[in-house]
DNA sequence: GATGAATGAGGGTTCATTCAT
DNA sequence: TATGAATGAACCCTCATTCAT
């Protein structure tokens, strides 16, 4: 008699083990057998719940981005003003759940695969699009469209730089300093825009 | 007498082939045999001029960073004012020689190895240190130290974000747009600082 | 459920194939692929059941020495007098199971690795120690300790010479002639010792 | 203008370097490049003075055995009685020049190649033949032929066992202890033979 | 559902040998 | 005579994947 409902459990186990291994071993040393060992299952199981290693990696990237997204959405719902919405997006991208040692390390590993892995590139595009969209939409209510576009791009790129640096430095990322840098950029740009009017 | 003086020639050939392969095949598929094939030599030659694959990769990273550095230094020499010096550093980091499709792709590949490759991490730290130092030093003559520090960090992180995005997008990087973003950030910060006085 | 209990079977298969290859191809040409081919399995399997080639070689040496030891122990159990015990040790070291064309060839190959392979040296030391101990203990009951020591050493060294010669000559070792030589040595020494009293 | 008469010098350099490497690195790690490095010449030179690595190894074995032989011959010339001649042969095989850490290590390495290297086997056979011949001839004048044969074999095999043990133990071989063992064997056998008459 | 035994292609690396100089 | 650049085959080993159980 087969155990029922194991699928979501096993998938999550393997995805978590993949994230952990990306952080601990790096992409090159994240093998199927290491992932399954960390998940406490056999190697064969990976191909039972995923089509292969590539599929597992893609699922991991999606799961991670989905977590991040949900956090941002939750924060956006609580935001009352456009400014609060911008800050909600930034805060969501710096929340400890995602902006962690494991998170940034895994994400850097994914980035490096994007240029050659079409499936991962697709996920990456969606994430970038969502981030830009969220920022643009909120900023649009504070400044003209062209400025909103420009500032959104600046914030998004700076956010990428922040994640990258966090991954390169290792250790627990400093969310406070990161937030400071972004808010500083935001304030400066908004002030300059005000002045031009 | 054997052929003499082949070492620098072969080393450069292999380094160039490595850069090309990182761009074309990605890090995972950059194998010794692919590198040597592209360089038009046998696989054995790699171990004749380098300690191994890891050594070749490190040498490639160093060579690339050295090229970039020389470009920056050359530009710094021509700069007359502090402002020109800041712009020289930025321009050097966006010059077509380094900020190219091949360059950013290779660099992303290296970034991904940094967390697990101590040797590459060392190179990376030197580069970051140099970039921050150059920016800080020039800015120091325009604004108070604390502000110089802050703006230098902002510019450096944004520069990383820009390279990352360029690598993720693929194709020829848009240096003009990148410069715009950085100059915009710089001007905005300098203006804000002026106002506070 | 996968096939269970394959480990001891496969290990023995591979160890036997290693012994055969050492005899047939010599140490230098005993490669993982030749061993696995002879065992009728893939090359990968070697690293499934052993840490690597070195581990397999060590395991082979241990298995061989263990076989030899068990034979000696069995014979020692049947021996009633000290003299019978000495002969039991010698006979065990000349029994067809170990003192065969394959056995002596493999053993010569191992000897040659001992000076540079710490792991194998360890095994070798244990074997030598056991041989000396067994001989000394039995002789101790026939002659004074100093003589027992001396005769044991003579027998052990002669045994090594016999195995070495057998390996160098090739073909089926001549156990009868070897036994003759050893018994001759033993008798001569015992007689001389008697006379001195 | 070519340097003349380099051949014997270079050959000897390479042979000495080979012996040294066999002792230091073992057979498996005695490569052409290590040998030539130790001899202070280029790798190509080996194939200039020898047909290849195998030829160099054979030449090394021959040179070593030739040295040993000359030492024995010199001692035999000085021997006045049959007994002195037996002892001369034994002493020659235990003289520090050959019976050294380097010598026994190199010799063990050669032994291991004998079963699969016809050329080396040939050299080995000559050496063994010479040793047996010398011993037999001297003993023939002291005891009946059958006994001379038997004792010569015993001494020769024990000598092999002694060299083998010395190689396995490492460090400087103990010639005195070895001589003791052989003389002890010789005396015992001669005494027993006397008695039988 | 789950195992882990088994495969075999492909990885980096070493090495004896050749050859232009 | 002597060099060392260059080759390419063969080495050990790792790995994603498959499959009988």
pLDDT in tens, B105-154: 999 999 999 999 999 999 999 999 999 999 999 999 999 999 999 999 99
pLDDT surpasses 80 at A193: yes
**pLDDT at residue A180 above 70?**
yes
Measured distance CA(D148)–CA(A70) in Å, rounded: 97
Angle between helices B82-92 and B145-169 (to 10 degrees): 20
Q: Which bases along strand E come within 7 Å of a protein CB atom?
A: 1-21
CB A38 within 8 A of CB A13: no
| CB distance A106 to A60 below 8 Å | yes
Predicted TM-score of the model (pTM): 0.93
Domain that holds residue B140: 6-196
CA distance D75 to B143: 94
**Residue D50 resides in a domain:** no
Average pLDDT, chain D: 95
pLDDT tens digits for D9-48?
999 999 999 999 999 999 999 999 999 999 999 999 999 9
pLDDT tens by residue, D118-131 = 999 999 999 999 99
**Overall average pLDDT of the B75-82 stretch:** 96
Helix (H/G/I), strand (E/B), else coil: B147: helix
Q: What pLDDT, on a 0 to 100 scale, did the predictor assign at position D1?
A: 41
* CA→C1' distance for D6 and F1 (Å): 8
SS (H, E, C) C60-71: HHHHHHHHHHHH
Q: Give residue A1's pLDDT.
A: 42
Mean pLDDT score, B9-33:
96
Q: Do A185 and B154 touch (CB under 8 A)?
A: yes
Residue C45 is assigned to a structural domain of this protein: no
Residue D89 has a pLDDT of 98
Is residue B1 domain-resident?
no
For residue D1, is it within any domain? no
Higher pLDDT, A51 or A5: A51
Interface of C with D (CB under 8 A): 25-29, 105, 108-109, 111-116, 121, 124, 128, 150, 153-154, 157-162, 164-165, 167-168, 170, 181, 184-185, 187-189, 191-192
The residue whose CA lies nearest the C1' of nucleotide F20 is C2
* Residues from chain B contacting residue A165 (CB–CB below 8 Å): 157, 160
Mean pLDDT, to the nearest integer, of D42-59?
96
* Residue B136 belongs to a domain: yes
Residue D142 domain flag: yes
Q: Judge A/D contact: 3 or more CB pairs < 8 A.
A: no
Inside any domain, residue C139? yes
Number of domains in chain A: 1
Of the candidate ranges A2-6, A49-53, C134-138, C174-178, the one whose mean pLDDT is the lowest: A2-6
| Strand F nucleotides, any atom under 7 Å to a protein CB | 1-21
Instruction: Decide if A145 contacts A158 (C-beta within 8 A).
Output: no
Sign of CA dihedral A102, A105, A106, A107: positive
The chain D residues in contact with chain C (CB within 8 A) are 25-29, 105, 108-109, 111-116, 121, 124, 128, 150, 153-154, 157-162, 164-165, 167-168, 170, 181, 184-185, 188-189, 191-192
Contact (CB<8Å) A111/B164: yes
Residue positions counted in chain B: 197
Report, as an integer, the average pLDDT of C115-126. 95
In a domain, A100, yes or no: yes
Segment D145-163 mean pLDDT: 97
In a 13 Å sphere around the CA of A39, the CA atoms on its Cβ side amount to 24
Q: What is the CATH number of the domain that holds C102?
A: 1.10.357.10
Q: Which pLDDT does position A189 carry in this prediction?
A: 96
Q: Look up the protein residue whose alpha carbon has the minimum distance to the C1' of E11.
A: B31
Q: Are B136 and B148 in contact (CB under 8 A)?
A: yes
User: For B157-183, what is the mean pLDDT?
Assistant: 97
Residue B185 makes CB contacts below 8 A (sequence gap 6+) with A154, A185, A188, B154, B155, B158
Model pLDDT, residue D150: 96
Using CA atoms, how far residue D152 sits from A108, B18, D72, D159, in Å, is: 76, 67, 16, 10
pLDDT computed for residue B197 by the predictor: 77
**Average pLDDT for residues C2-21, to the nearest whole number?**
90
Q: Average pLDDT for residues C109-133, to the nearest whole number? A: 96
Whether B15 shows a pLDDT value over 60: the answer reads yes
Given C108, C185, C189, which is nearest D111 (Cβ)? Answer: C108
């Amino acid at each position: 008699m087969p155990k029922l409902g194991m699928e979501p459990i096993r998938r999550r186990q393997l995805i978590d083990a993949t994230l952990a291994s990306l952080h601990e071993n790096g992409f090159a040393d994240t093998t199927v057998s290491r992932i399954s060992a960390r998940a406490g299952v056999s190697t064969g199981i990976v191909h039972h719940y995923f089509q292969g290693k590539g599929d597992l990696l893609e699922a991991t990237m999606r799961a991670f981005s989905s977590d991040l997204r949900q956090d941002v959405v939750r924060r956006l719902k609580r935001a009352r003003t456009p400014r609060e919405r911008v800050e909600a997006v930034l805060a969501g991208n710096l929340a400890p759940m995602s902006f962690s040692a494991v998170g940034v390390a895994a994400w850097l590993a994914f980035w490096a695969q994007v240029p050659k892995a079409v499936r991962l590139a697709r996920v990456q595009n969606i994430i970038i699009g969502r981030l830009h969209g969220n920022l643009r939409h909120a900023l649009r209510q504070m400044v003209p469209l062209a400025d909103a576009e420009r500032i959104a791009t600046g914030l998004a790129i700076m956010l990428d730089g922040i994640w990258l640096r966090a991954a390169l430095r290792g250790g627990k990322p400093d969310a406070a300093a990161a937030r400071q840098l972004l808010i500083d950029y935001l304030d400066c740009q908004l002030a300059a825009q005000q002045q031009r009017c």
